[in-house]
A = this chain, B = another copy of it.
Amino acid sequence: MMTAHPRLSLNQATVKHASLEEAIEAVQSAGYQAIGTWREPVQAVGLARAEAMISASGLRVSTHCRGGFFTVPEGPERRASIEDNRRAIDETARLAAAGAEGSQAILVLVVGGLPEGSRDVREARIRVADALDELAPYARQAGVTLAIEPLHPMYCSDRAVVSTLGQALDLAAPFDPAVVGVTVDTFHVWWDPQVYEQIERAGKEGRIATYQVCDWATPLAADVLLSRHYPGDGVIDFASLTRAVEATGYAGDIEVEIFNADVWSTPHPQVASRTADAFALAVAPHLAR
């Protein structure tokens, strides 16, 4: 029986083409205790069935991915997005309740890029704040933490106008940390000259909802979205970043989330196992607990 580090979780995006059942099997075969779910494979089997599968698996749910994409101006598209985020909050609460003890009811938010035809990134950022205002009471009632994810600035125009940890913390500041926190993903933040001070700040403000790891290497993939690598295969200093996150007292699961065409075309159990090995070498030695 293989075992993986007890705090390691496989984010389901790492095995993008797996069904929920296949993802659970892959994770279990490699000895994980936790999984980070995605909406599409959950919806493919239906929420009730997904809950039953998660419950039967004995796995913890570390996060649910993902909400957000609410930078469009007021109108039917924005209403549909807010409504969809409410559904994502419901899913998050139910999956976390179905998961083993220690499951986290965390919805990761990728906030969205510039609306079609817009050049106003400041206005798009204000709309993110507005959406948080609107969703926070609903999330609180559901017991869900919304985890704003700053994405690498190369995704600012088409995916997420929140580009730094400091900016995510500023957006989270008006809310209870139990309701609005942040996602710290090494791939997105490693380059930031302020990353260490902002991780420390995030810890002091109680905002680190989840810590995700994967590596950065060049040349970037032709589709830059798919440029993520196994920890250790690139240039990110996992020692310093992991110690900084641990120093804040963060004790939750740590997800590996890799978007990469080669990884996606590898058999899922092999990906889960390779991920556990990479985590053991590049990340686990720097964990405080």
Contact = CB atoms under 8 A, between A and B. Distances in A.
Contacts of A154: 152-154, 220, 224
A236 B119 contact: yes
A191 B218 contact: no
In this complex, the member of A122, A153, A167 whose beta carbon has the largest number of chain B beta carbons within 10 angstroms is A153
Given A125-B193, A193-B166, A193-B167, A157 B223 contact: no
Chain A interface SS verdict (over half):
loop
Nearest to A163: B191
Interface string A166-207: 110010000000000000000000111100000000000000
Interface in A138-169: 152-154, 156-158, 163-164, 166-167
A262 to B, nearest CB: 16
How many copies are assembled? 2
A236 B121 CA distance: 9
Contact of A192 (B118, B152, B153, B170): B153
Contacts of A158: 218-219
A222 interface: yes
In this complex, the member of A121, A163, A219, A240 whose beta carbon has the largest number of chain B beta carbons within 10 angstroms is A121
Contacts of A119: 235-237
A38 interface: no
Contacts of A220: 154, 224
A216 interface: yes
A23 B109 CA distance: 48
Contact of A153 (B114, B152, B218): B152
Interface string A81-125: 000000000000000000000000000000000100011111001
Contact of A121 (B120, B152, B190, B223): B190
Contacts of A166: 193
A262 B157 CA distance: 22
A59 B194 CA distance: 41
B163 A192 contact: yes
